[in-house]
Every structure is written in structure tokens, then in C-alpha cells.
């Protein structure tokens, strides 16, 4: 447990993805079974014991400490588990006291421990562990292990142990269970790849390249079919027959994470064996809602009937990878599309529909449709269209991003000129640079013309531009608030940033009343005086009525 | 033991000597009226007794200064030759009289030359600990428990959440990281006086024998430690090294430098920080530290409590830090305890750190 705790401790401070990977892979390499397997389970959310309530933790420390000292300490530290981990009284260690518990011991004990025995068991472990070990234990048992590691990242780190493709782990993952001894045996070259008997396995997804204007010259419109690109979530909906002939249905994210539990309202619709590639959307009165609406259904701890009623979930299908027992991935797209249309018709459920195709004869026609989806066939759903997808009619379904098969052609992002107002230091590699920028546009305030902040961006610029902005920030700081610097933003003095963004909505949380989606720095406009930057009215006009 | 004198057997004048008649907090610092001196005064006074060389305790401009040789040397390095009217060196255990008071210096285990100052007057002994720690440190003499009637303790880490643990385990954490990320430069933030040298010495104890690099602000004081016989192995100025050479190395720098422009000379720098404050995650995260190392030159909560009990003092005065918790704890142990209102002390102030070897401020 102390070794796992040391890993979590280190991960909690490490901002870089690659560094996190190396730390986790090193842990898997140095830690024997079954502990590393339980660690993988903890990081992928595959542990199933019931979490302890924080009241229980509080009771444990109150019984063992002076209430005034606990109050002062909690007030200073601000986190209950951490306070308890740090101030837990050190027992007088006897030479024959038990060694600290291993992670495997903790997990397997918690799995079967009667609830009333939990306090005493926790107290015993807390006596045996060190400060970091106690912190990790309390985070683990209260289900608050937030260390910035996704399931995908943990699996990628495991794959690196055996130089394997993380896709291969995703393929067999549904058939595996903690502590994953057979997985590690395969990764370390001691055994063959574990076979999966999963009736509803994930299939690694096919991805598209972003298309550039110069690409069209070499592409024949007749070779391609087009569909709208929806602003939802890519999912794979798989149903299969288990050995007892019952239907097993799973929903996977595009990285293969099992998200079935979050969408129970969609499952009954998927009653035929098959694997559908599609987009998860919220539909109200048959109209596609924006991504912001869909977001209300994501990352929820529990899916309440009210949530399901207010945010009705829907699957828009655009490909069929499996039909009954048959794997369709080798077939050309056109054939898969025919099979898909038949499959969706057989499902015959309003929760699942077909992604319509956008007819076009030339690239110019498609460009016109993309610029105005409403007057093509997107109709009232045009607002939720992000662009168009181009798929070669003869393309097989190939995992990854094969060249020239699928293209995404996004709508032009919105662009405005804004003025840099505040800058904040970045993290990790960027911690010595001012790399997070708050920018504003002009509006008429009580005291005349003033800049009002409309957004924050921390990417989009090149390394060279970062150095230039950093220099500018340091030279033209007008005030400091902790890690934040205010930089000069006068009509004739300041830096104009060309900001690109995907969408705009009203916001009561921002003084400006608008919030941008995916804002990024497009260009630095050293040539432009701040007085010529855009006005808030321009943004307000972009808001959908 | 002085503290165990039975009052009834004492001559009448002893019972009239209250501790606050011996030492009393004043705006200039802790004042001894019968001895006519101050301990660690924050403003210029005629006679000053200095516990140790940190800039918040050792200031320039006093008339006469009494301190250990090391503390006097450190003051000279920081402030120049004329930092005081006159100086006198005292060794641990040596006794000097001021008026009706006997004064002795005892090792405080905080930094090289650091001392607790015991003042005995009319049969009552008061010990001003300055800053102290009660754990091993290869760069200074170990802390000595001085039995006394009144113990003046610091409380920098005066909350039960501050448990510093085993410092060698933190050094192992640093070395593991260097092994795992051999292409990155590890920058360890550490206070220039004491902490930096202790970290280096512990790295050597752990068997690390590669050259260790120093920020310019650390050179003078580190060379001074070496001149006092503390072996630190091969040290190099970071400013002379090429970027590629610094991959996989360890560099010691003042805490303010590890995320500054200065770090750009290092390949993919990793910010570590050696401090007792690193025990609390929010403090480490606030500073953007990637590798917190819990290594402190102050006693932790357990150390403060154990030391107070070991002195046998029946009265405790608590100075800079988290006074409330320690005063509360002492009261629950049946001791008389109060916070001492002294201003001007805190963490070593890096703005007044030692000048770099080329004469500029780091
Ligand atoms: Zn000090
Ligand atoms: Zn101090």
C-alpha cells in the first residue's frame, strides 16, 4: 500500500502526460502481482467495494485527538482525509507489530468486510501505514481518488510495459478482472494474449483526418459520401448474445471506456446483436441539442429518472461494424452503409436513427452545404452541426487514422480580435512562462469605453509566439495578483490577439454575458492597435436567438 | 536541575525573581534587563546575543554582538566586515556573566553554529531556543536538551499535521526520480543557509557521488560550510554548465529561483522543494512543485512536544509560528503556557540572502 501511495502522491503533482505514463509503467514494472493489478483496477475505476462515508473518518480521528487541535489542523489543511492522515497518532510500534497492509490485502478485505467492522479495520491499517499511505488509503476507501489519471492512461501505461498497442488491451479488457494476472503475464512475455469470451467487445475505432483546402485538388467528389459532423460524443454501441442466449449490451467511448452505466435509457433500443458506430446526442422534440446540453448527462455519479427525462439520450448511427455474428469491417463503406440502413430499420426504435447523407456533385456544392447546413438537409438541427464528414465509398473500417479514407471538414471557426488583459503562469514545462491569457473586447461602460473580459485561452500559439507574449507580459505588467499579472490594455497600448472559437453561448457567470467554446489564440496582431479590436456587440450578434 | 529547586529552601530573593523579570518581549526583541542585552533583536541595540545566522534572527547594526564563531562568520559574509561595533565569539557550554545573569550557548541543531541561549538569574533558568530541530543533521551539532524553568520555543510547525518523517526517505524519493527521468534536470529549492548544505550532505550519505550543481546565491555560504570541515563532495556552479550537461543532474537553488527565468538554462527542469511545508499538499500545489521533499530544519509537532517535556520546564513561551495549538497542548499537560508577542521572525527571507559570488543578488 505504501508503494502504491507513493505513486499516487507523485502522480498528484505531475502535470505531464508522458511523465505520468512513465511513473505508472515504472510502478507496474517494480511491483509484483497481485498488487499492481489492484492498482490498475483502482486507476481504471474497476474496484467495486462500497465507499466509506467521510463521517466515519471524522469519528475515527475525533476519538483519538484533542478536538481543539483537530479543529485547528483541519482548518489549516482544508481536506479531511489529508488532515486525518497527517495527524493520526503514531502508535508505539512493537517489534512484532504487523507490517503495513499491501494494496491487495486492503482491496480484498474491503470486498468482503461487514460494514460494522470497517471502523476498527481502518484504524488498524492507519496505525500501520505512513503519512502518504494513510492519505492514499483514506482517498481510496472514500472513493475520492482523483489523481488526474484516466482509465485510458493507466491502460496505456500497462501496454508500455510490454511494448504493446493500448488498443490490444482495450480489445481484451471487457473479459478481464482484477488483479489482471494473465494480462501482466502477457505483457511481460510469459504467456499468450488472454482470450476474451466477451459477447459485446469493443472494436478499436477508425478516425478521420482534418482536411485542408489544398487536399481537394487530389480528391474526386464521386469517390466520397458525405454526412453531417455532429457536435456530440462518438460511441460504439455493441450488443451480443451471451452463452445463455441473453442479450448483453455495452456502450463504449471512442477510447474503449465502458460507459454503459451512464445511459440505461438507451440500452433497450439496442436489442439486436450488432456493433453500431455513432454519435450520442440529446434530442428534444426530435431536435438535436447543443453539446452544452449533452454535457449535463456526462460525468454524473448517478443517473436519476429526472435526468433521463430532461435530457433524453439518442444514438445517431453512421456505421455498422458487426451484424449478428458477422464482422463487417472488411467490407467497403458503401456496403456497410446498406447493412446499417437495414439494421436500423429492424431496430425500429425512436432512440436510434440514421445519420443522413448530404448529397453533392462537386466540392463547391458541398462547401455551400457546409456553410449553410440549414438550407441543405440539416434543417432545424443546423446549430448542432460541426461540419461535414467525408468517407471514401470503398474504405474498409480500419482502426486508427488511415490515410485518405475519412476526412473531417469543420465549419470555419469564429474569429475575433481581442485585447490581452491578464496573463497567468502555466504548469509543468510552461511554469516559467506566462501562458494562460485572459482577453477582452470593447464595450461602453459607466465610465466610457472599457474592455470587458470575454474568455481565456492557453493554446493555439507556437513556441516562438509564447516566448514573444511572455516577454510582452513581463515588460508591460501593470499589477500583480499572486500568479496573475495584469498587463497594459489601453486604446493605444497593448497586445491584440486574434482568437478563434467554436461557439458562443449566453452566460450569467461572466460579466460580459457570453462564454466561448474552445477559444484559442489564432494569431498575434502586433500590427493592430487595441482600439481597433472587436466590440462586445459583435459577439452578441453571433449568439443564436 | 535548576527547575527542580524547591522554593521553600531558596534564599528570599529567588522567590521574588519572576521569569518576566529576566526576559521580556519588547519591540526591539527579547530583552534581558538585569543582563542589559537583547536576544536576536530586530532593531539595532547596544548589546545583542544572536542564536543563529538566518537573516530574521541575525541583523546588522548592533553595538556589541555575542554569538558562536560560525554565526559571526555568517553575519560577516552577509553584511560585510563592519556589521557590528564589536564582536565576541562564544563556544557551546562556555559561560559568560552579564550583570547578575549567567549566559550559556547550547547546540540547537538548526543550522551550522545555531544555539539555544540559556539565561540563569537568581536561581531561575530561562532558555531561548531560537530555531531548533531535534533530529540528526550531518551539517551541524546535535540539539541538546537544556533543563530549565522556562522554555521559549519556536512553533514554526506547531500543528499536529506537521510530521516530518524520515528525511533519508525523501532523499531516496529524489534519487529515484533522477533515475527514472535521466533526461531531466532536477532543481531542488532549498533555503541557502543550512537546508541546501544539509540536502547535499544527505545525498552524499545516500551514496550519490555525481557532481551537484549550485545556483550562484548558494556558492559563498556552501563554500563556507566546506571551510568548516563539512564534506560536500564535488560541487559546480550551474552557470558554467552547458544545457546538455545538466540532464540527469541535481541543482540546489533558492526557492524563488526554481520556477524563474533562470530555469530555462536547464533541460526539461523538474521543480522539487525541500521544506517542512511540503507536508501539506495544498502548499506544495500552490507553489507548482512537482516533487515535494519533506525535509525541515525546524522541529516537527512531535519534536516540539517531546522537547518541551524533556526540558522539565513548567512554563512555556511560544514564539513565531502556529502558537495557538502548541499553547493549547502545553496547557492540557498542566504547564503554564502563553504566546510571546515578538514580531519580525519567520522563514529565512530570500530577498536578503547572501550575495552571489560575482557580487550580484541572485
Ligand atoms: Zn532559522
Ligand atoms: Zn526563526
- Model confidence over B280-314: pLDDT tens digits? 998 898 888 999 999 999 999 999 999 999 999 99
pLDDT score of B11: 43
Neighbouring C-beta atoms of residue A403, cutoff 10 Å: 7
pLDDT of residue A147 exceeding 80, the answer is no
Summarised one tens digit per residue, pLDDT across range B50-60 is 999 999 999 99
Q: Is B259 an interface residue toward A (CB < 8 Å)?
A: yes
Of residues B206 and A433, more confidence is placed in B206
Q: Would you state the pLDDT for residue A370?
A: 86
Domain ranges of chain B: 19-161+297-339, 167-293
User: pLDDT-based confidence at B343, cuts 50/70/90?
Assistant: low
Residues 6+ apart with CB under 8 A from A531: A442, A491, A492
Helix A54-62 crosses helix A67-77 at what angle (to 10 degrees)? Answer: 140
For B24-36, the pLDDT digits (tens) are: 999 889 999 999 9
- Nearest-CA neighbor of B341 among B331, B352, B327, B358? B327
pLDDT greater than 70 at residue B6 = no
Residue B215 contacts residue B257 (beta carbons within 8 Å): yes
pLDDT at B131 over 50: yes
Please give the helix or strand (H or E) that residue B66 lies within, else none. Answer: strand B62-67
Report, as an integer, the average pLDDT of A102-112.
93
For residue B277, the chain A residues in CB contact (below 8 A) are none
| Contact between chains at A131 and B263 (C-beta distance less than 8 A) | no
Please tell me the distance from the alpha carbon of residue B63 to that of residue A16, in angstroms, as a whole number.
54
Cα dihedral sign, B341-B342-B343-B347: negative
- CB of A261 within 8 Å of a chain B CB? The answer is no
Average pLDDT over residues B145-168: 95
Share of chain A above pLDDT 70, in %: 98
Nearest chain A residue to B256, by CA: A432
Q: How distant is the Cα of A228 from the closest Cα of chain B, in angstroms?
A: 43
Helix (H) or strand (E) holding A309: helix A305-310
Q: Please state the ipTM of this predicted complex.
A: 0.90
Interface residue A12 vs chain B (CB under 8 A):
yes
φ, ψ of residue A119 to 5 degrees: the values are: -55, -45
**Cis peptide preceding A34, ω within 30 of 0:** yes
Q: Does B263 sit within 8 Å of A23, measured CB to CB?
A: no
Q: pLDDT > 70: what percent of chain B?
A: 90
Contact yes or no for B318/B153 (Cβ under 8 A): yes
For the cut 50, the answer to whether the pLDDT of residue A135 exceeds it is yes
Average pLDDT over residues A471-489: 89
B173 touches chain A (CB under 8 A): yes
Instruction: Judge whether residue A364 has pLDDT over 90.
Output: no
Read off the pLDDT of each residue in B124-151 and give the average, rounded to a whole number: 97
- pLDDT given for residue A372 in this prediction: 82
Residue A296 has pLDDT above 90, yes or no: no
B282 to A90: CB separation less than 8 angstroms, yes or no: no
Q: Per-residue pLDDT for A432 more than 70?
A: yes
CA B78/CA B353 separation, integer angstroms: 7
B267-284 pLDDT tens trace: 999 999 999 999 999 889
How many Å apart are CA A492 and CA A533, to the nearest integer? 11
Query: Between 2.40.50.140, 1.10.10.10, 2.130.10.10, 2.60.120.380, what CATH number should domain A414-542 receive?
Result: 2.40.50.140
Helix (H, G, I), strand (E, B) or coil at B248: coil
Overall CATH class of domain B167-293: alpha beta
Res B3: pLDDT: 39
Q: Per the structure block, which three cell numbers stand in for A214?
A: 489544398
- Angstrom distances, CA of residue A109 to CA of A7, A119, B231: 21, 13, 50
What pLDDT, in 10s, does the model give residues A30-89?
A: 999 999 999 999 998 888 788 888 899 999 999 999 999 999 999 999 999 999 999 999
> Does the pLDDT at position B14 exceed 50?
no
Interface membership of A414 toward B (CB under 8 Å): no
Q: B169-187: b or e for each residue (b if 16 or more CB lie within 10 Å)?
A: ebbebbbebbeebeebbbb
CA nearest to B160 within chain A: A87
**What CATH code would you report for A209-410?**
3.30.470.30
Domains B19-161+297-339 and B167-293 share a fold: no
**What is the band of A204 on the pLDDT scale with cuts at 50, 70, 90?**
confident
Q: How far is B258 from chain A (nearest CA, A)?
A: 9
Query: In angstroms, rounded to a whole number, what is the distance separating the alpha carbons of residues A28 and A36?
Result: 6
CA of B346 from ligand 1 middle (Å) equals 8
| pLDDT band (50, 70, 90) for residue A538 | confident
Chain A residues in contact with B292 (beta carbon < 8 A):
13
Does the beta-carbon distance from A429 to B268 stay under 8 Å? yes
Report the pLDDT value the prediction gives residue B356, as an integer from 0 to 100.
Answer: 40
Predicted confidence at residue B353, as pLDDT, reads 40
Q: Are B29 and B42 in contact (CB under 8 A)?
A: yes
Contact A437, A456 (CB under 8 A): yes
Position B9 confidence tier, pLDDT thresholds 50, 70, 90: very low
Domain A2-141 has CATH 1.10.10.10: no
Q: Kindly indicate the confidence band of residue A94, based on its pLDDT and cuts at 50, 70 and 90.
A: low
Any bridge partners for residue A172, and if so which?
Answer: none
pLDDT of residue A264: 93
Q: Assess A69–B contact: CB distance below 8 Å, yes or no.
A: yes
pLDDT above 70: residue B12: no
B130 Cα to the center of ligand 1, angstroms: 7
The pLDDT value recorded for residue B349 is 44
Q: How many CB atoms lie within 10 A of CB A540?
A: 14
Is residue B68's pLDDT more than 90?
Answer: yes
Cα→Cα distances A474→A323, A425, A456, A487, B274, Å: 61, 11, 18, 8, 28
Q: Has residue A431 got a pLDDT over 90?
A: no
Q: Where are the domains of chain A?
A: 2-141, 209-410, 414-542
Instruction: State the smallest CA–CA distance between residue A244 and chain B in angstroms.
Output: 49
Q: Is A207:A266 a contact under the CB 8 Å cutoff?
A: no
Show the CA angle centred on residue A532, arms to residues A526 and A533, nearest 5°: 80
Query: Which residues of chain A are within 8 Å of residue B266 when distances are taken between CB atoms?
Result: none
What pLDDT does A253 receive? 87
- The residue ranking higher by pLDDT, B148 or A402, is B148
Any idea which residue has 454524473 for its cell?
A300
Task: Report the DSSP beta bridge partners of residue B103.
Answer: B96, B119
pLDDT at B138: 97
Contact residues on chain B for A26, CB-CB shorter than 8 A:
180
Chain A to chain B Cβ contacts (< 8 Å):
80
- Confidence (pLDDT) at A211: 85
pLDDT at A479: 87
Which chain B residues are within 8 Å of A429, Cβ to Cβ? Answer: 268
Q: Is B328 on the interface with A (CB under 8 A)?
A: yes
How far lies A244's CA from each of A174, A238, A240, A247, A248, in Å? 18, 17, 11, 9, 10
Question: For A23, which residue in chain B has the nearest alpha carbon?
Answer: B180
pLDDT tens digits for range A248-293:
999 998 877 888 989 999 999 999 999 999 999 999 988 998 877 8
pLDDT for A116 beyond 50:
yes
Q: Is B180 on the interface with A (CB under 8 A)?
A: yes
Topology (CATH level 3) of domain B19-161+297-339: Metallo-beta-lactamase; Chain A (3.60.15)
Q: Do B259 and A431 touch (CB under 8 A)?
A: yes
Per cent of chain B over pLDDT 90 is 81
Residue of A nearest to B271 (CA): A428
Cis peptide before A179 (omega within 30 of 0): yes
Q: Please name the residue ranges forming H helices in A113-203.
A: 118-128, 131-141, 151-161, 166-172, 181-187
Residue predicted with more confidence, B320 or A154: A154
Specify whether the CB–CB gap between A531 and A491 falls below 8 A.
yes
Q: Is B181 in Cβ contact with A22 (below 8 Å)? A: yes
Given this chain, do its domains A209-410 and A414-542 carry the same CATH topology? Answer: no
pLDDT at B362 over 50: no
Give the one of A13, A77, A432 whose C-beta lies nearest to B292's C-beta: A13
Report CB contact under 8 Å: A83, B161: yes
Question: How distant is the Cα of B166 from the closest Cα of chain A, in angstroms?
Answer: 10
State residue A388's pLDDT score. 93
Per the rule left: phi > 0, alpha: psi between -120 and 50, beta: everything else, B334 is left
- Mark yes or no for CB contact B162/A6 under 8 Å: no
Backbone φ and ψ of A377, nearest 5°: -105, 20
Mean pLDDT score, B172-181? 97
Phi-psi region of A91 (alpha: psi -120 to 50; beta: other; left: phi over 0): beta
Contact B325 A427 (CB under 8 A): no
Amino acid at each position: 500500500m505504501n508503494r502504491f501511495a507513493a505513486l499516487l502522491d507523485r502522480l498528484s503533482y505531475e502535470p505531464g502526460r508522458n511523465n505520468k505514463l512513465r511513473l505508472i509503467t515504472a510502478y507496474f514494472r517494480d511491483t509484483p502481482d497481485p498488487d499492481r493489478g489492484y492498482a490498475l483496477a483502482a486507476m481504471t475505476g474497476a474496484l467495486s467495494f462500497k465507499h466509506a462515508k467521510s463521517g466515519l473518518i471524522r469519528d475515527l480521528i475525533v476519538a483519538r485527538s484533542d478536538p481543539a487541535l483537530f479543529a485547528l489542523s483541519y482548518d489549516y489543511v482544508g481536506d479531511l482525509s489529508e488532515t486525518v492522515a497527517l495527524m493520526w497518532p503514531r502508535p508505539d510500534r512493537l517489534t512484532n507489530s504487523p507490517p503495513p497492509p499491501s494494496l491487495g490485502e486492503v482491496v480484498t478485505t474491503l470486498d468482503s468486510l461487514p460494514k460494522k467492522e470497517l471502523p476498527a479495520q481502518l484504524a488498524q491499517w492507519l496505525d500501520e501505514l505512513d503519512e502518504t499511505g494513510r492519505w492514499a488509503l483514506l482517498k481510496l476507501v472514500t472513493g475520492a481518488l482523483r489523481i488526474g489519471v484516466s482509465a485510458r492512461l493507466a491502460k496505456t501505461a500497462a501496454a508500455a510495459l510490454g511494448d504493446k498497442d493500448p488498443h490490444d488491451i482495450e480489445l481484451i479488457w471487457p473479459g478481464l478482472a482484477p488483479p489482471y494476472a494473465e494480462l501482466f503475464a502477457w505483457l511481460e512475455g510469459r504467456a499468450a494474449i488472454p482470450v476474451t469470451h466477451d459477447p459485446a467487445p469493443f472494436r478499436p475505432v477508425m478516425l478521420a483526418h482534418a482536411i485542408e483546402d489544398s487536399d481537394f485538388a487530389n480528391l474526386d467528389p464521386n469517390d466520397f459520401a458525405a454526412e453531417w459532423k455532429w457536435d456530440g460524443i462518438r460511441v460504439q454501441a455493441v450488443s451480443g448474445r451471451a452463452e445463455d442466449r441473453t442479450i448483453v449490451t455495452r456502450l463504449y467511448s471512442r477510447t474503449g471506456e465502458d460507459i454503459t452505466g451512464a445511459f440505461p435509457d438507451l440500452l433497450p433500443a439496442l436489442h439486436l446483436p450488432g456493433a453500431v458506430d455513432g454519435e450520442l446526442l440529446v434530442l428534444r422534440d426530435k431536435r438535436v441539442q447543443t453539446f452544452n446540453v449533452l454535457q449535463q448527462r456526462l460525468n454524473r455519479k448517478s443517473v436519476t429518472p429526472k435526468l433521463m427525462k430532461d435530457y433524453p439520450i439518442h444514438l445517431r448511427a453512421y456505421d455498422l461494424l458487426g451484424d449478428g455474428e458477422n464482422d463487417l469491417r472488411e467490407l467497403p463503406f458503401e456496403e456497410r452503409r446498406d447493412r446499417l440502413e437495414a439494421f436500423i430499420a429492424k431496430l425500429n426504435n425512436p432512440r436510434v436513427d440514421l445519420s443522413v447523407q448530404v448529397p453533392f456533385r462537386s466540392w463547391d456544392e458541398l462547401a455551400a452545404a457546409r456553410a449553410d447546413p440549414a438550407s441543405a438537409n440539416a434543417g432545424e438541427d443546423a446549430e448542432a452541426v460541426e461540419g461535414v464528414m467525408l468517407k471514401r465509398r470503398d474504405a474498409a473500417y480500419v482502426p486508427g487514422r488511415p490515410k485518405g479514407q475519412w476526412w473531417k471538414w469543420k465549419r470555419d471557426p469564429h474569429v475575433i480580435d481581442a485585447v490581452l488583459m491578464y496573463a497567468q503562469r502555466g504548469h509543468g514545462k510552461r511554469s516559467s512562462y506566462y501562458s494562460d491569457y485572459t482577453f477582452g473586447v470593447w464595450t461602453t461602460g459607466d465610465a466610457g469605453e472599457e474592455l470587458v473580459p470575454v474568455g481565456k485561452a492557453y493554446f493555439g500559439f507556437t513556441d516562438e509566439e509564447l516566448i514573444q507574449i511572455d516577454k510582452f507580459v513581463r515588460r508591460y505588467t501593470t499589477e500583480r495578483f499572486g500568479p496573475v499579472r495584469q498587463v497594459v490594455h489601453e486604446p493605444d497600448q497593448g497586445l491584440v490577439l486574434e482568437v478563434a472559437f467554436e461557439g458562443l453561448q449566453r452566460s450569467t457567470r461572466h460579466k460580459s454575458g457570453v462564454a466561448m467554446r474552445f477559444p484559442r489564440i489564432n494569431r498575434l496582431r502586433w500590427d493592430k492597435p487595441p482600439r481597433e479590436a472587436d466590440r462586445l456587440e459583435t459577439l452578441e450578434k453571433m449568439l443564436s436567438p | 536541575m535548576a527547575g527542580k529547586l524547591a522554593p521553600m529552601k531558596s534564599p528570599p530573593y529567588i522567590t521574588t525573581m519572576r521569569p518576566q523579570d529576566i526576559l521580556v518581549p519588547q519591540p526591539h526583541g527579547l530583552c534581558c534587563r538585569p543582563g542589559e542585552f537583547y536576544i536576536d533583536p530586530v532593531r539595532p541595540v547596544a548589546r545583542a546575543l544572536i542564536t543563529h545566522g538566518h537573516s530574521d534572527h541575525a541583523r546588522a547594526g548592533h553595538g556589541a554582538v555575542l554569538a558562536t564563531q560560525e554565526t559571526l562568520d555568517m553575519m560577516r559574509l552577509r553584511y560585510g566586515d563592519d556589521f557590528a561595533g564589536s564582536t565576541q565569539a562564544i563556544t557551546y557550554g562556555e559561560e559568560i556573566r552579564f550583570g547578575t545573569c549567567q549566559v550559556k550557548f547550547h547546540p540547537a541543531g538548526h543550522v551550522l553554529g545555531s544555539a539555544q541561549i540559556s539565561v540563569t538569574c537568581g536561581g531561575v533558568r530561562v532558555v531561548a531556543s531560537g530555531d531548533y530541530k531535534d533530529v540528526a543533521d550531518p551539517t551541524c551539532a546535535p540539539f541538546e536538551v537544556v533543563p530549565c524553568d522556562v522554555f521559549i520555543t519556536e512553533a514554526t510547525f506547531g500543528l499536529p499535521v506537521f510530521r516530518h518523517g524520515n528525511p533519508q526517505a525523501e532523499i531516496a524519493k529524489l534519487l529515484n526520480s533522477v533515475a527514472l527521468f535521466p533526461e531531466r534536470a532536477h532543481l531542488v529549492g532549498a533555503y541557502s543557509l543550512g537546508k541546501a548544505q544539509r540536502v547535499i550532505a544527505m545525498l552524499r550519505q545516500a551514496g550519490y557521488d555525481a557532481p551537484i550543481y549550485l545556483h550562484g546565491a548558494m556558492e559563498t555560504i556552501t563554500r563556507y560550510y566546506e571551510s568548516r570541515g563539512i564534506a560536500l563532495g564535488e560541487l559546480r556552479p550551474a552557470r558554467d554548465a552547458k544545457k546538455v550537461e545538466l540532464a540527469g543532474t541535481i541543482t540546489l537553488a533558492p526557492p524563488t529561483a526554481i520556477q524563474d527565468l533562470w530555469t530555462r538554462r536547464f533541460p526539461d527542469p523538474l521543480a522539487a522543494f525541500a521544506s517542512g511545508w511540503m507536508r501539506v499538499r495544498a502548499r506544495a500545489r500552490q507553489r507548482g512543485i512537482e516533487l515535494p521533499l519533506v525535509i525541515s530544519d525546524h522541529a516537527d509537532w512531535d519534536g516540539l512536544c517531546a522537547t518541551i517535556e524533556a526540558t522539565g520546564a513548567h512554563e512555556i513561551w511560544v514564539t513565531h509560528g502556529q502558537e495557538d495549538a502548541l499553547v493549547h497542548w502545553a496547557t492540557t499537560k498542566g504547564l503554564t503556557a502563553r504566546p510571546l508577542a515578538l514580531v519580525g521572525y519567520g522563514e529565512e527571507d530570500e530577498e536578503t540572502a547572501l550575495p552571489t559570488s560575482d557580487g550580484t543578488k541572485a
